[in-house]
Amino acid sequence: MDSPLILASLPFALGIVMLGLGLALTLDDFRRVGRHPKAVVVALLCQIVLLPVVCFGLVLAFRLPPELAVGMMVVAASPGGPTANLFSHLFGGNVALNVTLTAVNSVLVVVTLPIVVNLSAHHLLPGGAALGLQADKLQQLFVMVLGPVAAGMLVRALAPGLARRLNLPVRVLSVVVLVTVISAVLYAERHDLPGYFAAVGLAALTFNVVSVAVGYGVPRLAGVDHGAATAAGFEIGLHNTGLAITIALSPALLNSAEMAVPGAVYGILMFFTATAFGWAISRRQSSARSLSARPANR
């Protein structure tokens, strides 16, 4: 993608998304880790450790081209997006836990994402050791990710009324920005798009389904309640693809339109799988409540 306008607008676009996240956060969202340690720790281990390992196995199993494989790893290393909060609210998840996980992971990603990207680039790309997120690029990543979040939190702390008024417009703008960025990536790569979809579509769908299943199933196996596990399922399954695409496209970071394609494909597919997941667990919970409410035979 060589459009100067799109490339110049990427940091602004990501800033809008991360500002919207910051407007919804308070320091108490970080303190909540101590009140729900098991759910937070299990979900973060799934998201930070397990998912990149699973994704690496999938890109090898599907034999993705190197650039698309690294793009998938960027998606795997990206934190949950604000959309997870909405889906969690719609389908009975613990939204407070979603907010806490997003808050913590959005800070940790400044460290974890470069590690995952650099390791995967080293193993998957020719000359990959020089193509990852090196030390001179980390400062820009830090500013792009944490700067708007901190600004949003500051507005929330100093002017809560203003933060409430800005919350909905910024959320709507975030969705518009995400759709615009994904559309721009798909349009720029339109000539190669059929091949890219054929190469990465099934891998992205498989990884999305696995992400949601891991996000819900592992916490349940660890004894986390249904509401918290539902929140974890959406948080881990709905990645911040806007962040993944920006990192891939930004000339100062990875500078690769091909690496942005998996994020765009995943960003489309995840809404369908999240809806299916929400419908399935809602139906299961309704069935369970009906069985428990049925009088016992005498």
- Tell me what pLDDT residue 74 has: 93
197-207 confidence digits (pLDDT tens) = 788 999 999 99
Place of tokens 């579509």: 201
- Helices and strands, counts by H and E, the chain: 13, 0
- Tell me what pLDDT residue 293 has: 54
CA distance 24 to 148: 12
32-66 confidence digits (pLDDT tens) = 667 778 888 999 999 999 999 999 999 999 999 99
The pTM of this model reads 0.79
- Tell me what pLDDT residue 298 has: 47
Higher pLDDT, 291 or 118: 118
Higher pLDDT, 49 or 109: 49
Please check the confidence at residue 211 and state whether its pLDDT lies above 60.
yes
- Tell me what pLDDT residue 171 has: 74
CA distance 196 to 69: 11
What does the pLDDT average to over 100-129? 81
Range in 143-152, 153-162, 258-267 with the lowest mean pLDDT: 143-152
Amino acid at the residue 52: P
Please check the confidence at residue 195 and state whether its pLDDT lies above 60.
yes
CA distance 8 to 89: 34
Report the domain count for the chain.
1
Most confident listed range (139-143, 237-241, 252-256): 237-241
- 112, 77, 113, 80: which is closest to 99 by C-alpha? 80
Q: For residue 152, what is the domain's CATH number? A: 1.20.1530.20
What does the pLDDT average to over 9-38? 72
- Tell me what pLDDT residue 50 has: 93
What does the pLDDT average to over 24-30? 72
What's the first-to-final CA gap in the chain, in angstroms? 71
What does the pLDDT average to over 225-242? 89
Q: Does 298 reside within a domain?
A: no
> What are the angstrom distances between the C-alpha of 88 and each of 80, 169, 232?
12, 20, 9
- Tell me what pLDDT residue 285 has: 66
CA distance 33 to 41: 8
CA distance 20 to 86: 13
Higher pLDDT, 127 or 170: 170
Q: Does 293 reside within a domain?
A: no
> What dihedral angle (degrees, nearest 10) is formed by the CA atoms of 255, 12, 100, 235?
-50
Q: Does 297 reside within a domain?
A: no
Range in 38-42, 202-206, 264-268, 285-289 with the lowest mean pLDDT: 285-289
Range in 122-126, 140-144, 197-201, 225-229 with the lowest mean pLDDT: 140-144
CB 59 within 8 A of CB 124: yes
- Tell me what pLDDT residue 219 has: 93
- Tell me what pLDDT residue 192 has: 72
Range(s) of the domain holding residue 274: 4-288
| pLDDT > 90 in the chain, percent | 25
Q: Would you state the structure tokens that stand for residue 254, as one six-digit string?
A: 């990875």
